[in-house]
Amino acid sequence: MLNKFLNPYISPKLDKRSMHLRKLVIRAFEGGMRGHLGSSMSLIEILRVLYDDFLSFNSKEPEWCDRDRFILSKGHGCLAQYALLADKKFISLNDLDKFCHHDGILGGHPEKSKIPGVEFSTGALGHGLPVSVGMAVAAKINKKNHKIIVVTGDGESNEGSIWEAALSASQNKLNNLIWMIDYNKFQSYGQTQDVINLEPLNNKITSFGFNVTEVDGHNTKSIQNALNSCLNKSLKPNAIICHTVKGKGFPFAEHNENWHHKSNMKPSEIDAMYKCLEV
Amino acid sequence: MRKTALNSVYELAQKNKQVVFIGSDLGPGVLDEMKINMPNKFYMEGVSEQHIIGMSAGLALEGFIPYVNTIATFLTRRCFEQIAMDLCLHDLPVRLIANGGGLVYAPLGPTHLATEDFGILKTLPNITIIAPCDALEMKELMKCTIDWPHPIYIRLGKGGDKIISNSKTNFKIGKAIIMKKPEEGLFITTGVMAQIAAEACNILKNEGIQCGLMHMHTVKPLDQDSLLKWIPKVKAIVSVEEHFRTGGLGSSILEFLNDKMNDTFINFHRIGIPDYYTKNYGSQKSLLETAGISPKSLALEMKLRLKKINV
C-alpha cells in the first residue's frame, strides 16, 4: 500500500509532452465548450505511456487483428483519449475542434462506430471490464498474444459489474488482461473516501486474484515499468492502481471536485489553463 | 424446448468454430458433452448477469457468436443497460436464451415470472425478439440464428409443450406463420399461446365459427406484411400473449394499426396478463386461467368481438 498517495500530494512537474497533450485536450474542450476536464487530466500520463510505449497498434489500419485492445471504460475521460488519438493520427486535429458538434465524430463519450481506434463505446460506467474479459477470453481461444488493457475510474469501481468481471477474470486465468485504475480520489460528488471508500483497494483487488501494482499515475517511467511487469508468466490477471490527481496540471483544478465537468468557461479561464502549460 | 435449444447450441458449435456458450450458474450437467469436448467454447460463469452480457459482447466484437443462457427475468431486468449498450448499440450477434418465459416458473413467484420481457427489450433498436411455440420450431429457429447479424432474445417455454408446428413450414425470422387460415376471426399469438389459440379455434369451429391463427414467433421486428395482408380480410382480431397487456405483441399491433391502418376501423382486442403482480402460485396453466387466458375464454372473447353472443 502506497499510503503517500492517499492524501493530496504534490505531483511531479509536467514535461513538454505532457503539456502538449494537455493543450490538445483544451483545444477539443474549446471546440465543444464542455467536457470532463478534471477526469481527463488525471488520465493523460496513463494514456501517454500506453500509446507511446506499450500498445501495439497501426493508426492506418485501426482494425489490424494483432493490435492490443484498449478500452477507456471511464468514457467521460475521453478528451484525454481524443488527444492521444489525434496525436497518433487516428483522427485529425480538426476533429478535435468539432468536439460535441452536431456533425463531429467526437462526442462527450467515445463511440466505436464513429472513431477509429475506439474499441468499444463507453460512457455508461462499469461496462469496460466485463467486455475486456470477453476480449481476453477470445484471445485465449484464438491463441493470440495481443493484450487487453482497460482503464476504469475510481468512482466507476462502485459498480457491481466491475467486481463480477474481476471474479471472472481470475477464474478464467486471464493473464492477458491489464486493468488500470485511474485513482484520482474524486468522483462526481466529492472525495471517494467520503462517498464510497474503496480502501483498502489494493487488498480488495489482490483478494480477487489479481497481481496488483501501485504507481504514481503521473510518473511515466513508473507506469511503463508496471505495464512491463504485467508481461510475466503468471496465470493471474493484472491490475495497476494508478494514483493520480484530478485536474492534474492546473493548480486551481487539482483535487477540486468542481472540475469534474466544466462547461461555458470564460475566455480568461481558458487562457489561465494555457498559461499553466507554458514552459 | 430448453433441451432442444441447448442441444442445438452444441450442434451449431460442432459446425461453426465461432460459436461459444456462456451460462450463468445453470443446473449441474448442462451441456456436459460440449464442456468435455470443447472446453474452450463452454463458459459457466457465476451469478453475474451484467458481467456475462459484457463478456459476450467482448467475444462478439472478436468475431464469436455467443449463446448466453439463464433465467428470463434475470436476463432482462438485471442487465438491461448491458443489453442496450453492449449488445444493441454495437449491434452484436449475441443470442440470449431465456429460460422460463412468461408464467413458466409459477410456483416460484413474481421474482421469476418473465411477463414484461418483450416490453423491456422491444424499445431497443437492433434487437430481435423471438418466442417459438414448441420444440420443433425451436430447432428450426436455432438453425437461423447462426448468421443473423443482430442480437437475438429467445424466449423459452416450459418444455414438453405439444408439438403444433410443422417442420415443412419454411421458418424465417421475422415472418409470421399462418397455422390456420383466417376466415371470420383471427387470433394472433406468440410463443406457446399458439397452442391455446389453436384449441380456441377448434371450440369455435365446433360452434360453426371459422377462425384463423397467425403465429408471430418474432415479436420484433413485427411482420407488417402479414398483418397488412390478413387484417383487412377478417371481422375481428384477438391477440394473445403470455405477457402484460402493456408493452408486448398486442401493443406492437396497436401501434402498427395506428401507424399504417388508421383510416380503417379495426375490431381488435388484446388478451394478456393484467397490470398486476400475481398473488398466486400454482402452475403456468392456473395462472394463465386466472389471467383469463384459456381456450374457452379466448373463444368467448372472439364470439363477443364477432357479435355472435350478447354480453
Q: Does B125 touch chain A (CB under 8 A)?
A: no
SS3 B48: coil
User: Do the domain assignments include residue A202?
Assistant: yes
> Do residues B21 and B77 share a domain?
yes
> Do residues B85 and B24 share a domain?
yes
Question: Domain count of chain B?
Answer: 2
* Strand intervals (E) in A98-206: 148-153, 177-183
Averaged pLDDT, B218-224 = 98
User: Do the domain assignments include residue B164?
Assistant: no
Using the predicted structure, report yes or no on whether residue A6 has a pLDDT greater than 90.
no
User: Do the domain assignments include residue B100?
Assistant: yes
Using the predicted structure, report yes or no on whether residue A2 has a pLDDT greater than 60.
no
Averaged pLDDT, B85-103 = 98
> Do residues B116 and B187 share a domain?
no
> Do residues B188 and B133 share a domain?
no
pLDDT digits (tens, 9 = 90+) for B174-187: 999 999 999 999 99
> Do residues B34 and B144 share a domain?
yes
CATH of the domain at A134: 3.40.50.970
User: Do the domain assignments include residue A233?
Assistant: yes
pLDDT for A7 equals 58
User: Do the domain assignments include residue A5?
Assistant: no
Amino acid at A42: S
Disruptive mutation site among B62, B65, B85, B94 for chain A (greatest number of A CBs within 10 Å): B62
User: Do the domain assignments include residue B165?
Assistant: no
> Do residues B130 and B232 share a domain?
no
Alpha helices in A68-195 (DSSP H): 78-87, 93-97, 128-141, 160-171, 192-195
Residues of A within 8 A of B43 (CB-CB) are: 137, 172
Q: Which domain holds residue B244?
A: 177-305
Averaged pLDDT, A216-227 = 96
User: Do the domain assignments include residue B166?
Assistant: no
Question: Domain count of chain A?
Answer: 1
State residue B291 phi and psi, 5-degree precision: -85, 0
Q: Which domain holds residue A146?
A: 15-276
User: Do the domain assignments include residue A4?
Assistant: no
Peptide bond into A200 cis (omega under 30): yes
Residue of A nearest to B47 (CA): A164
> Do residues B115 and B36 share a domain?
yes
pLDDT for A257 equals 84
Query: Burial, B249: exposed, middle or buried (Cβ in 10 Å; 0-12, 13-18, 19+)?
Result: buried
> Do residues B147 and B256 share a domain?
no
Using the predicted structure, report yes or no on whether residue A1 has a pLDDT greater than 70.
no
Task: Provide the ipTM.
Answer: 0.95
User: Do the domain assignments include residue A10?
Assistant: no
User: Do the domain assignments include residue A248?
Assistant: yes
CATH of the domain at B203: 3.40.50.920
Averaged pLDDT, A243-259 = 92
Distance between first and last Cα of chain B: 39
User: Do the domain assignments include residue A44?
Assistant: yes
> Do residues B112 and B214 share a domain?
no
> Do residues B93 and B191 share a domain?
no
CB–CB contact B40 A140 (8 Å): yes
The whole-chain average pLDDT of chain A stands at 94
pLDDT digits (tens, 9 = 90+) for B106-119: 999 999 999 999 99
pLDDT digits (tens, 9 = 90+) for B51-84: 999 999 999 999 999 999 999 999 999 999 999 9
- Measured distance CA(B93)–CA(B150) in Å, rounded: 5
CB–CB contact B43 A137 (8 Å): yes
User: Do the domain assignments include residue B201?
Assistant: yes
- Cβ–Cβ pairs < 8 A, chains A and B: 97
> Do residues B97 and B222 share a domain?
no
User: Do the domain assignments include residue B162?
Assistant: no
User: Do the domain assignments include residue B167?
Assistant: no
CATH of the domain at B28: 3.40.50.970
> Do residues B29 and B83 share a domain?
yes
User: Do the domain assignments include residue B161?
Assistant: no
Residues of B within 8 A of A139 (CB-CB) are: 62
* Strand intervals (E) in chain B: 19-24, 42-45, 65-71, 95-99, 128-130, 152-155, 177-180, 185-189, 211-215, 218-220, 236-244, 268-273
B56/chain A closest Cα distance in angstroms: 6
pLDDT digits (tens, 9 = 90+) for B16-33: 999 999 999 999 999 999
Contacts of A112 (CB under 8 A, 6+ apart): A118, A119, A120, A121, B90
User: Do the domain assignments include residue A183?
Assistant: yes
A20/chain B closest Cα distance in angstroms: 33
Q: Does B34 touch chain A (CB under 8 A)?
A: no
- Measured distance CA(B105)–CA(B87) in Å, rounded: 27
Averaged pLDDT, B213-220 = 98
pLDDT digits (tens, 9 = 90+) for B120-129: 999 999 999 9
Using the predicted structure, report yes or no on whether residue A169 has a pLDDT greater than 70.
yes
Averaged pLDDT, B222-240 = 97
pLDDT for B167 equals 77
A3 confidence band (pLDDT: 50, 70, 90) = low
Which of A134, A139, A164 is closest, CB to CB, to B56?
A134
Disruptive mutation site among A147, A164, A171 for chain B (greatest number of B CBs within 10 Å): A164
